[in-house]
Amino acid sequence: MGEFVSVQTDDGVATIRIDRAPVNALNVQMWGECADAARQVATDDDVRAVVLWGGPKVFAAGADIKAMREMSFTDAFAHAGELQEAFRTLAEVPKVVIAAVNGYALGGGCELALTADFRYAADNAKFGQPEIKLGLIPGAGGTQRLARLIGTQAAKEWVYGGEMYDAETCRQLGLVDRIYPADEVYDRAVESARAYAAGPYALRMAKKAIDEGMGLDLASALKLETELFAATFATRDREIGMDAFLAKDRAEFTQR
């Protein structure tokens, strides 16, 4: 349990909570705590799905600008690498992760949300990559995960312009998956996570096939799909799923 990043698990769903008043500005300590939280939820068998949440007001307003102001080139190079590594660890959590976004998700905060499989946004949420206004570029996935998700042209508009975009605009771009009233978004994310938590072990293979496959050429990605498809046959849940279908029954998956 970190000072600013905590993990709480309830009925198979872990909430990774970012909490540093007033706007969850991400300092270097939090980057490490995010990586620790990611490793914890990845390895804990009691965790079967994850919600990433910054609380009811702000998801995260990005890296801590006051701390960054004093960084040298070498500091920035080292710390950006640490943040990339933390966010890579989060993105590779082998369970379904939903970011529940209230308020601002800016800069590193937007990049944090991009590590999740899905983004459920409050109707008052605002996303953006404002780094250019500070004389920076995004350093934790904003030129890469963002471009892969919304396309290079939209990503260029975001990164070159540094503007903020509302939840509906983000939904049209494919960055936001669902929009809810602000006081419902976390509960809805937990509800969906609970449904995924009841799913089969194959969800892990599905995530790996899509996420790793996107970084490969088509022939290699299809080979990866074949291997992961075959790997599902080694799971108990594959037998449970097929037996339940044939018995016209409801599958009770074991995540094994």
* Binding region for ligand HXC (CB under 6 A): 22-23, 25, 61-66, 80, 83, 104, 106-108, 130-131, 134, 136, 138-140
Cα 253 to Cα 47, 72, 117, 121, 237, distances in angstroms: 14, 51, 21, 29, 5
Rounded to 5, what percent of the chain is helix, strand, coil?
A: 50, 15, 35
Known catalytic residues are 63, 108, 111, 131
The residue nearest ligand HXC at its CB is 107
Distance CA 158, CA 242 (A): 45
The least distance separating ligand HXC from the CB of residue 167, rounded to whole angstroms, comes to: 15
Q: Which two tokens stand for residue 153?
A: 């042209």
| Identity of the residue, 64 or 117, whose beta carbon is nearer to ligand HXC in the bound complex | 64
The least distance separating ligand HXC from the CB of residue 118, rounded to whole angstroms, comes to: 22
| Identity of the residue, 157 or 212, whose beta carbon is nearer to ligand HXC in the bound complex | 157
Query: 3-state DSSP call for residue 84?
Result: helix
14 bridge partner residues: 9, 50
The least distance separating ligand HXC from the CB of residue 217, rounded to whole angstroms, comes to: 29
The least distance separating ligand HXC from the CB of residue 25, rounded to whole angstroms, comes to: 4
Considering only CA atoms, which of 44, 36, 35 is closest in space to residue 14? Answer: 44
Residue matched to tokens 């102001």: 69
